[in-house]
């Protein structure tokens, strides 16, 4: 198994290289880059952007000039009426004064040193931004994933044992209805009903801690943290039970009919022993396979709207704002981190496969 793990670790840099390369060139082909966006804001009278850029360039005013063209002869959209020298300073500030291949090679060289660059608009390093937002997304993602697995797996086992019963039918309807409700819509409902929207004010609406969090005792801080997590986590897990519950049920039902189960029962093994000593290990393999994808999804992609609704400044919101603002360092930096974590979790999944069932030997394959 050690040689297999080593090979997988050596493949991670090559996989990340492919991910970054494809996304880098797709981003360059997409219309409306960061220079276009900033020039459009300047033309539209965005005083904040104008002041920031004019201060950075050392010019007190922005001169008006005919529409210039770039090296390829095409004019930037939104650059009409701006001084060509000032536009070149904006391009240099964003690094677009260099050819495409130089920017690509520079990005790869920086990422080899784990230097993710600096945000175009926040004047802060990307690594600092990610570390600042990571606790929020980790809190939501880990809590949601654990709750989904801790509820869905026992529920799926009971549904398999009681297949066709009233409990099975009713629980199936409940989890399917929950799956049909979009998480953001359920979040709005929770805000209206329980967070002071119209009816009750039982839970806070903003942030993960109260204003007096530092003055609370250790137990009080834990309770305050869980109090703030309650509504966003509930909104995230409401649709996550169905797929895992039904997957668990179907996996157990498939194993129950196999010959080794009949043999175990014929030897006098109790139903509980058959279920947890024989069926459980084989049925859980498929569940374990989906854990990395579920965790990555919860951490990085499943909480954007939830973070917006509950005013939680996490990685989902950071990535969304980076895409809308064409903040390439943040876009590619978060992609690099997400890809690295996803690949490592997939490797952990394979190792867990082997630990659960030693018969599965990836190294031999």
* Interval 252-284: pLDDT, tens: 888 888 888 888 888 888 878 888 777 887 777
Task: Give residue 77's pLDDT.
Answer: 44
The residue among 183 and 72 whose pLDDT is bigger is 183
Query: Helix (H, G, I), strand (E, B), or coil: what is residue 195?
Result: strand
Q: How many residues comprise the chain?
A: 365
The residue among 287 and 71 whose pLDDT is bigger is 287
Task: Give residue 356's pLDDT.
Answer: 67
Task: Give residue 251's pLDDT.
Answer: 87
Task: Give residue 2's pLDDT.
Answer: 77
CA pair distance 328, 229, nearest whole angstrom: 31
Task: Give residue 43's pLDDT.
Answer: 66
The residue among 216 and 293 whose pLDDT is bigger is 216
Query: Helix (H, G, I), strand (E, B), or coil: what is residue 105?
Result: helix
> pLDDT category, 315, cuts 50, 70, 90?
confident
User: How is 142-169 classified by DSSP, letter by letter?
Assistant: HHHHHHHHHHHHHHHHHHHHTTTSHHHH
Task: Give residue 73's pLDDT.
Answer: 40
Region 146-174 average pLDDT: 90
- pLDDT over threshold 50, residue 79: no
Using an 8 Å Cβ cutoff, are 247 and 172 in contact? no
User: The tokens of 136 are what?
Assistant: 């929020």
Query: Helix (H, G, I), strand (E, B), or coil: what is residue 71?
Result: coil
User: The tokens of 74 are what?
Assistant: 């095409």
The residue among 233 and 291 whose pLDDT is bigger is 233
Mean pLDDT of the chain: 79
**DSSP-assigned beta bridge partners for residue 201:** 195
Task: Give residue 15's pLDDT.
Answer: 92
> pLDDT category, 50, cuts 50, 70, 90?
very low
Task: Give residue 363's pLDDT.
Answer: 65
User: The tokens of 248 are what?
Assistant: 């668990």
Q: Is 207 exposed, middle or buried (0-12, 13-18, 19+ CB in 10 A)?
A: middle
Say if pTM beats, i.e. exceeds, 0.85: no
Angle, helices 84-94 vs 47-57, to 10°: value is: 90
> pLDDT category, 317, cuts 50, 70, 90?
confident
The residue among 276 and 194 whose pLDDT is bigger is 194
CATH number assigned to the domain covering 127-356:
1.10.3720.10
Residues of the chain with CATH 1.10.3720.10: 127-356
Using an 8 Å Cβ cutoff, are 242 and 176 in contact? yes
CA pair distance 188, 31, nearest whole angstrom: 34
Lowest mean pLDDT among 91-95, 228-232, 358-362: 358-362
- pLDDT over threshold 80, residue 196: no
pLDDT digits (tens, 9 = 90+) for 104-126: 998 899 898 888 888 888 878 99
């Amino acid at each position: 198994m050690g040689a297999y793990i080593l090979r997988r670790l050596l493949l991670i840099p090559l996989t990340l290289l492919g991910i970054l390369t494809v996304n880098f060139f797709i981003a360059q082909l997409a219309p409306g880059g960061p220079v276009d966006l900033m020039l459009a804001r300047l033309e539209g009278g965005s005083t904040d952007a104008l002041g920031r850029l004019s201060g950075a360039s050392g010019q007190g005013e922005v001169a008006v000039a005919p529409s210039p063209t770039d090296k390829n002869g095409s004019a930037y959209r939104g650059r009409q009426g701006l001084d060509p020298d000032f536009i070149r300073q904006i391009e240099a500030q964003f690094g677009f004064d260099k050819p495409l291949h130089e920017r690509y090679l520079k990005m790869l060289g920086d990422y080899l040193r784990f230097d993710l660059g600096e945000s175009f608009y926040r004047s802060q390093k990307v690594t600092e931004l990610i570390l600042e937002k990571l606790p929020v997304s980790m809190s939501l993602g880990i809590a949601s994933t654990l709750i989904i697995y801790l509820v869905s797996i026992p529920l799926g086992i009971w549904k398999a044992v009681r297949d066709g019963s009233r409990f099975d039918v009713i629980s199936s309807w409940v989890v399917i209805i929950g799956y049909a409700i979009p998480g953001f819509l359920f979040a709005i409902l929770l805000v209206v009903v329980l967070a002071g929207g119209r009816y009750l004010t039982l839970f806070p609406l903003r942030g993960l801690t109260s204003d007096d969090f530092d003055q609370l005792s250790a137990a009080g801080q834990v309770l305050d943290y869980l109090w703030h997590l309650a509504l966003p986590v509930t909104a995230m897990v409401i649709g996550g039970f169905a797929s895992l519950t039904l997957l668990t049920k179907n996996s157990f039902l498939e194993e129950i009919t196999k010959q080794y189960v009949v043999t175990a029962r014929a030897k006098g093994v109790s139903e509980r022993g058959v279920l947890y000593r024989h069926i459980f290990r084989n049925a859980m393999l498929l569940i374990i396979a989906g854990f990395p994808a579920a965790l990555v999804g919860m951490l990085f992609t499943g909480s954007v709207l939830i973070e917006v609704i509950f005013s939680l400044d996490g990685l989902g919101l950071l990535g969304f704002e980076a895409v809308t603002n064409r903040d390439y360092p943040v876009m590619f930096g978060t992609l690099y981190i997400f890809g690295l974590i996803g690949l490592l979790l997939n490797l952990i999944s394979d190792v867990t496969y082997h630990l659960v069932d030693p018969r599965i030997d990836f190294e031999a394959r």
